[in-house]
């Protein structure tokens, strides 16, 4: 009897990264607490309006140029590179284990994007000026840091469409 063919780990990881977003996806589970209201330039005279959750904020930006969760060709290459480094040439990893490793790389990539604002267009001049006056971070998508904190704490869940 001949030995079974070796499992080509690199090819399996590459194939799964290339189908991320099409055949399967990564979802982030956030706590359902409302965001804290931004500070104001003058003291509030009444209660702040109802605030949305971080999940709702990400949904508002889905499909726009400010979508933090978008997966570009460059992003996919970065996730692939990191996943291959982490998994190496380990043989006989099941599909779920490979997908979890890829999802972890994807999450780290999204958190890095939220930290640096790389690839996210800057907000309008009026909002940028207001952020400056309020002492908020000028990095795109990171005025108060609430979304960044939520992304860091989020649990990842693998989904099939």
pLDDT in tens, 142-161: 888 999 999 999 999 999 87
The per-residue pLDDT of the chain, averaged, comes to 90
Cα dihedral sign, 118-124-127-133 = positive
The pair of three-digit structure tokens given for residue 63, joined into one six-digit string: 């499909």
Please say if the pLDDT value at position 128 is more than 60. yes
Res 3 pLDDT > 60: no
What is the distance between the alpha carbons of residues 108 and 113, in angstroms, rounded to a whole number? 9
Of all residues in the chain, what percent are helix, strand and coil, respectively (each to 5)?
A: 45, 10, 45
Q: Where are the domains of the chain?
A: 9-159
Residue 7 banded pLDDT, cuts 50, 70, 90: low
Q: Where are the alpha helices (DSSP H) in 53-145?
A: 54-61, 73-87, 95-116, 125-134
Q: Is the pLDDT of residue 5 over 50?
A: no
Residue 101 has pLDDT above 80, yes or no: yes
Burial class (CB in 10 A: 0-12, 13-18, 19+), 68: buried
Three-state secondary structure call for residue 25: strand
pLDDT level of residue 2 (50, 70, 90 thresholds):
very low
Q: What pLDDT, on the 0 to 100 scale, is given for residue 129?
A: 94
Task: Give the residue with greater pLDDT, 136 vs 5.
Answer: 136
Mean per-residue pLDDT, 20-25? 93
């Amino acid at each position: 009897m001949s030995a079974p063919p070796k499992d080509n780990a690199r090819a399996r990881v590459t194939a799964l990264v290339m189908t991320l977003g099409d055949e399967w996806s990564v979802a982030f589970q956030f706590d359902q607490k409302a965001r804290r209201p931004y500070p104001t330039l003058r003291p509030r005279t009444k209660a702040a309006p109802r605030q949305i959750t971080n999940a709702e904020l990400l949904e508002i930006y889905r499909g726009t140029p400010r979508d933090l969760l978008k997966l570009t060709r460059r992003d996919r290459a970065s996730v692939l590179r990191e996943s291959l480094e982490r998994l190496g040439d380990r043989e006989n990893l099941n599909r779920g284990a490979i997908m979890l490793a890829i999802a972890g790389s994807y999450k780290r990539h999204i958190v890095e994007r939220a930290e640096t604002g790389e690839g996210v267009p800057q907000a309008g001049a009026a909002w940028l000026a207001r952020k400056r006056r309020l002492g908020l971070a000028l990095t795109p998508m990171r005025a108060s840091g609430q979304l960044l904190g939520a992304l860091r704490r989020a649990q990842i869940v693998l989904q099939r469409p």
